Structure formats: structure tokens, C-alpha cells
Amino acid sequence: MLDIATEVSAALDANKPVVALESTIISHGMPYPRNVETAMAVEAALRDGGAIPATIAVLDGKLKVGLSPDEIQSLGQLGLDAIKCSRRDLPFVVARRMNGATTVAATMIIAAMASIRVFATGGIGGVHRGVEETMDVSADLEELANTNVAVVCAGVKSILDIGRTLEYLETKGVPVIGYQTDNLPAFYSRDSGFPVDYRVDTAEEIAAAIKAKWAMKLNGGLLIGVPLPEEHAMPKEEIDSVIVDAIAEMQQQGISGKETTPYLLGSIVERTGGKSLDTNIQLILNNARVAAEIAAKMTL
């Protein structure tokens, strides 16, 4: 089932840095055509940083590790018509030979199958606000608990309950690392107000912690929060009020389950007149640069 691109498997065999990328961010996270432009730019940023990109998706029931530009283009055009695949979806998308875009959880699973240890994305799923009512906790958190991949992100978006997301990760033994920051970033802004477990200032030290974790057979991932560059950050109050409105509208429309995150992301882009999309693109490029550095240190 696993179909690893030649370039990716050659890099892995030669112990060269490889960084996994998810595909739900392409299909469900951003509108076409900027989703495709961004996916290509993120791959280029990894290459500039000396790492081989491995964008992951399920195509025709195959677990693809490394997509061609044409494959990225067609996933981008499919958009919301692609199946958003998390852990529970993989068996059916594979058995029915369908096309699916992988979430953080499913990307981690497939990256681990391919022995890729570092994964860059924008934001992860987490505990949703209103969890007392909905029990909506992303399968991404459970995957971080169990699967040996380090995930580089821009922290946790405030569409989620950041405090409860951190509690969940603590329970599951997932280290939350702040890259050159004491507080977890909040995606569009640099500071969520919640402290990380460990501030780490170099890629080298992050790689050392990843290696130590797995050498002790402590299975599961690590979460590395990278604040977006200051010049692209959005004022916290501004983005928070947009998010509150977006959540209220979503509840009115009765949206739930796997549609929740894509709906909110789209609504935020609309409400900010596209500004949040520019921010989103900048932060993922920045995460890719940091992930390339960590992946390089992992090969030593």
C-alpha cells in the first residue's frame, strides 16, 4: 500500500533530511489556487533548507509519500471534494481505492510507516471550545500520543481551547516545545499566553530530545511550536474576535464533526478579507524552514 517517491526513498536510504507535509491543509485548509501555490512554495522552502519534501496523501487507495506537482495540483483543485482522512478514514479510503487528503493524524501514521521523523504543518487539531457539550477532540492529539513523528507547527489556533489541548497533551506524555519562545504561539499571533513545557533555542537541542525520547522507547510524538515572524503576526484581539464570531455562526448553522475545522478556517479567511490567509502562508513557510533544520540535525 505504501508508495514512496523515488527521491524520498533515496534520501531516506542515504540518511539525508526528509520532512513530511500534510495534504488536508491543501484541500481543506486554503482556497484554490493559493493552496497549490503554497504547497509548492513550502516544498521549495524545505529544499532551500536542505531537506527533501514528502507531501503525503492517499491516491487511488495508495499511501503516497512524495507527490508530483500534478498530484498536488489535482488535490488542490478537488478542494473540499477530496476526502479528509484521519485515522478512522484510512481503512475505507484504501479499500475503496479512493483519493484522500491526510490530516495531521493520518500524515503522521503514513510518515512513520515510511520512517520519516519530522513533519511540518501550519496548525494541529486539538480540543475544541465547547468540548463539554460536543466531546470534539481531534484525533491529531491521540496520534501525537502514539506515533513517533515530531510535528513542527505554529502552535494552537484559538478556534481551539488551547488550555485544554495542553492538558490533554500533558496527560498523553507529549512534550510541547517552544522554539525560541517561552509561551506557545497561537498560530496567527506569536503568544497564546500559555507557557510551553520546554523552551528550546536550537534545532540541535530539539533533535537531541527527539532522539532521547525514542531511544527510551517512549513512543509518541513531540510538538514544536514556532512563532511566526513578527512582521506577519496579527493582533491577538483582532483575530480572537473574528474567531468568536466564526464559531457563533458555525453553531447557528449546526456544523459539527470533521466539517468543523475546515468551516472555521474558511470563515476566518472571509472575515479577515484574506489577511489570515496571507498570515497562514507565511507561518507555514517559516515552519518548513525550522523543520528542515531539525531534520538535518536528526541525521547526525
CB burial readout 13-51, b (16+ within 10 A) else e: eeebbbbbbbbbbbbbbbebebbbebbbebbebbeebeb
Residues 132-151 that bind ligand PSU (CB under 6 A): 138-140
Judged by beta carbon, residue 124 or residue 247, the one nearer ligand PSU is 124
Question: Is 231 a known active-site residue?
Answer: no
Secondary structure (H, E, C), the chain: CEEECHHHHHHHHCCCCEEEECCHHHHCCCCCCHHHHHHHHHHHHHHHCCCEEEEEEEECCEEEECCCHHHHHHHHHHHHHCEEECHHHHHHHHHCCCCEEECHHHHHHHHHHCCCCEEECCCCCCEECCHHHHCCECHHHHHHHHCCCEEEECECCCCECHHHHHHHHHHCCCCEEEECCCECCECCECCCCCECCEEECCHHHHHHHHHHHHHCCCCCCEEEECCCCHHHCCCHHHHHHHHHHHHHHHHHCCCCHHHHHHHHHHHHHHHCCCHHHHHHHHHHHHHHHHHHHHHHHHCC
Binding mask 245-284 for ligand PSU (x = CB under 6 A): -------------x--x---x-------------------
Among 125, 175, 185, 220, binds ligand PSU (CB under 6 A): 125
Q: Does 25 sit near ligand PSU (CB under 6 A)?
A: yes
From 111-119, 128-136, 149-157, 168-176, give the range in contact with Mn ion by CB under 5 A: 128-136
Q: Does 123 sit near ligand PSU (CB under 6 A)?
A: yes
140 is in the binding site of which of Mn ion, ligand PSU, none (Cβ under 5 to 8 A by kind)?
Answer: ligand PSU
Judged by beta carbon, residue 28 or residue 117, the one nearer ligand PSU is 28
Among 17, 29, 66, 175, binds ligand PSU (CB under 6 A): 29
Question: Is 157 a known active-site residue?
Answer: yes
Q: Does 186 sit near ligand PSU (CB under 6 A)?
A: no
C-alpha to C-alpha distance for 279 and 265, rounded to whole angstroms: 12
- To the nearest whole angstrom, how small is the minimum distance from the Cβ of residue 276 to Mn ion? 21
Judged by beta carbon, residue 167 or residue 201, the one nearer ligand PSU is 167
**From 64, 84, 157, 258, the catalytic residue:** 157
From 66-74, 91-99, 117-125, 216-224, give the range in contact with ligand PSU by CB under 6 A: 117-125
Residues 5-24 that bind ligand PSU (CB under 6 A): 22, 24
Cis before residue 229, ω within 30 degrees of 0? no
**From 22, 43, 143, 293, the catalytic residue:** 22
Q: Does 136 sit near Mn ion (CB under 5 A)?
A: yes
Q: Does 86 sit near ligand PSU (CB under 6 A)?
A: yes
User: Using CB under 6 A as the criterion, which residues of the chain lie in contact with ligand PSU when the complex forms?
Assistant: 22, 24-25, 28-29, 86, 103-104, 122-125, 138-140, 157, 258, 261, 265
Which positions are catalytic?
Answer: 22, 157
Q: Enumerate binding residues for Mn ion (CB under 5 A).
A: 136
